[in-house]
Amino acid sequence: MLNVLRPALSRVLTPVAEMLARTPVTPNSITIIGTAGVVAGALWLFPIGHLFAGTMVCTGFVLADMLDGVLARVKGTSGAFGAFLDSTLDRVADAAVFAGLTIYLVRTRQDTLALVALFCLVAGALISYAKARAEGLGIPCDVGFAERTERMLLALVPAGLTGLGVPYVLAIGLWVLAVLSVVTFGQRVAAVRRGASALKGAGADGPPASQRGARAGETQ
C-alpha cells in the first residue's frame, strides 16, 4: 500500500546516491551494513527495554538500507545477486525486529502479546514467501494490505511510542498487524488461485515441474 511513497523517497535519496557513486562504496555493502544495524538495534536495545532508542536505530538503518537500490541504479550495477541479497537480508532484518520485541515482551511478562509478535514474525515470512513462490510460477501476486513497509511501520512506530510512555499502543499495533497479516496472506492465496486458473484456461501450466520446487526471495 505504501509503496506509492517509494518514488518520492527515491528522489530524496538520489543526491546522496550520486555522491556515494563517486566513492568505492557498493550497493551490496550498504545492504549488509543496513541489515547489521537493524539486527544490532533490535536484538540489543529492544530486549532490555530501550524501545525508543531501538526504534530510532532500526528506522535509521532501514532508511539507509533503501539507499542500496538507488545507488545501484545510479552506478548502473543492478543485478540478480544484488536483488537476491537485498531480499534475503530484508528477511533477516524483519526477523530481528520481531524477535527483539518478542524477547522484550517475554521479559516484561506480557506473554500473550509476545505470542502475537511471534505470530507476526511467522506471518510476515509466509506473506513474503507466497509472493515469491507465485512469481516463480509466473503468476503476479502484488496484492495485500500488509506488505513489508506496512509491517515495519506497524511494529516500529508503536514500539517507539511505547518507549516514550504511550500506553497500549504496542498491543494495538501488533494485534492490528496480526489481523492484517492474515488478510494479506488470504489475498495472496486468492490472487494465485485466480492467476493459476487464468493460466490453465489459456493453456499454460507455468514452469516445468522440475522448476516448481525452486524458491525465490522478494521484498514485500
pLDDT at residue 204, rounded to an integer: 56
pLDDT at residue 206, rounded to an integer: 53
Per the prediction, the chain carries an average pLDDT of 86
Per residue in 69-116, pLDDT (tens digit) is: 788 888 777 778 888 888 899 999 999 999 999 999 999 999 999 999
pLDDT at residue 193, rounded to an integer: 92
Asked if pLDDT for residue 212 goes beyond 50, the answer is: no
What's the mean pLDDT in 126-133? 92
Distances in Å between the Cα of 78 and the Cα atoms of 26, 72, 82, 85, 111 are: 11, 5, 7, 12, 43
In the chain, % of residues over pLDDT 70: 87
Note if the pTM is more than 0.85. no
pLDDT at residue 217, rounded to an integer: 43
Q: Please provide the DSSP assignment of the chain as one string.
A: -GGGGHHHHHHHHHHHHHHHTTSS--HHHHHHHHHHHHHHIIIIITTTT-HHHHHHHHHHHHHHHTHHHHHHHHHT---HHHHHHHHHHHHHHHHHHHHHHHHHHHHTT-HHHHHHHHHHHHHHHHHHHHHHHHHHTT------S--HHHHHHHHHHHHHHHHTT-SSHHHHHHHHHHHHHHHHHHHHHHHHHHHHHHHHHTT---S-GGGTT-------
Residue ranges per structural domain of the chain: 2-204
Confidence of residue 210 (pLDDT cuts 50, 70, 90): very low
Q: Does domain 2-204 have CATH number 1.20.120.1760?
A: yes
Active site residues: 90
